[in-house]
């Protein structure tokens, strides 16, 4: 068998260079593993190379945030679901924190807090009315 007919070593491509700076001396396009993208198919400035998906509960949280203006329990439910979705995204879920989810979460949070403040004001007013009614009876 001649040298040109000898089988090639299957591990020849998997071997690493002895010099750790060997790749740093080569242009990036000549390094192993580099694949040149065809012209016109590269993502443009400001574009993301993948599709951005909204969280599956984003529409629900958004609707609960809007309905929470009128019904406070919906605001609290939207606040809970939005917070849960926010934690999932922070943990690495492949969804975006924005759009309907963020808007619904903020609406739910604002109207949930306003509902708590309203209940507190109502309690203070009722106590005041009870004290005034008790004092005037003497």
Q: What is the pLDDT of residues 74-125, one digit of tens each?
A: 999 999 999 999 999 888 888 888 889 999 999 999 999 999 999 999 999 9
User: Looking at the domain assignment, is residue 37 inside a domain?
Assistant: no
66 and 72 Cβ atoms separated by less than 8 Å:
no
Question: Exposure string (b/e) for 18-50, b if CB count within 10 Å is 16 or more?
Answer: eeeeeeeeeeeeeeeeeeeeeeeeeeeeeeeee
Does the pTM of the predicted model rise above 0.95? no
User: Looking at the domain assignment, is residue 33 inside a domain?
Assistant: no
User: Looking at the domain assignment, is residue 23 inside a domain?
Assistant: no
User: Looking at the domain assignment, is residue 43 inside a domain?
Assistant: no
Place of tokens 């005037």: 136
Nearest CA-CA partner of 114 in 52, 78, 72, 80: 72
pLDDT in tens, 32-87: 555 555 555 555 555 555 557 888 999 999 999 999 999 999 999 999 999 999 99
Q: What angle do CA 91, 96, 99 make, to 5 degrees?
A: 135
User: Looking at the domain assignment, is residue 102 inside a domain?
Assistant: yes
120 and 76 Cβ atoms separated by less than 8 Å:
no
User: Looking at the domain assignment, is residue 42 inside a domain?
Assistant: no
In angstroms, the CA 101 to CA 94 distance is 14
Structural domain that includes position 78: 58-136
Q: What is the pLDDT of residue 65?
A: 94
User: Looking at the domain assignment, is residue 100 inside a domain?
Assistant: yes
User: Looking at the domain assignment, is residue 129 inside a domain?
Assistant: yes
Q: What is the pLDDT of residue 17?
A: 53
Q: Could you give the number of structural domains in the chain?
A: 1
Q: What is the pLDDT of residue 113?
A: 96
In angstroms, the CA 132 to CA 138 distance is 11
């Amino acid at each position: 068998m001649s040298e040109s007919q000898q089988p090639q070593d299957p591990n020849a491509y998997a071997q690493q260079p002895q010099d750790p700076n060997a790749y740093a001396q080569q242009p990036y396009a000549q390094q192993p593993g580099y694949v040149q993208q065809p012209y016109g198919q590269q993502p443009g400035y400001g574009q993301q190379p993948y599709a951005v998906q909204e969280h599956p509960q984003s529409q629900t949280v958004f609707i609960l945030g809007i309905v929470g203006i009128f019904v406070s329990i919906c605001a609290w439910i939207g606040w809970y679901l939005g917070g849960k979705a926010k934690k999932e995204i922070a943990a690495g879920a492949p969804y975006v924190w924005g759009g309907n989810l963020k808007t619904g979460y903020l609406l739910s949070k604002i109207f949930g807090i306003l509902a708590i403040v309203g209940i507190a004001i109502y309690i203070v007013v009722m106590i005041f009315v009870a004290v005034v009614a008790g004092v005037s009876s003497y």
